[in-house]
Amino acid sequence: MESHRIEDNQIRASSMLRHGLGAQRGRLNMQAGATEDDYYDGAWCAEDDAQRQWIEVDTRRTTKFTGIITQGRDSSIHDDFVTSFFVGFSNDSQTWTMFTNGYEEMTFHGNVDKDTPVLSELPEPVVARFIRVYPLTWNGSLCMRLEVLGCPVSRECRGLLGSRRG
């Protein structure tokens, strides 16, 4: 995602606080504008803090997902980051299967600050076309940046999804 090989229209979200905080701003290491008045900001932020908000990536092909890297909002005045989340998978963006620990939805640990990327590896790879992150708890406002890890099923996984290596 960070490399932009995943295009803006492949990233969707349940809502956005405003256009400058839309799903396309949810890429890992996305930078905020230089001043407080800049319209674009350094994260996806949901319209409200209700649970079951989500951000979704469509890889446009069957993909072996292996993990997610999360990061908080890039901002000099806000301290927003997701501290835990669920992960779902789909082949059609309509019917979702949640990643479980065998008997309930698996909670992944997120960030403890807004700047440091946190790797959450899936205990086992999952094959699907879509992946969705459902923030469960957060600090400040519900905002995050992320990178999806995996590779097309036809290739060996060697790096980040959307990178030239993977």
160: in domain: no
Q: Encode 20-32: b = buried (16+ Cβ within 10 Å), e = exposed.
A: bbbbbbbbbebeb
Residue 97: CATH number of its domain:
2.60.120.260
Tens of pLDDT, residue by residue over 32-91, are 765 555 556 789 999 988 878 999 999 999 999 999 999 999 988 889 999 999 999 999
**pLDDT of residue 164 exceeding 60:** no
Within a domain: residue 122? yes
Copy the structure tokens of residue 100. Answer: 């479980």
pTM (2 decimals)? 0.88
Task: Give the total number of structural domains in the chain.
Answer: 1
Q: Is the pLDDT of residue 19 over 50?
A: yes
Confidence of residue 123 (pLDDT cuts 50, 70, 90): very high
Is 91 within a domain? yes
Domain with 39 in it: 8-152
Q: Is residue 3 part of a domain?
A: no
pLDDT in tens, 56-71: 999 999 999 999 999 9
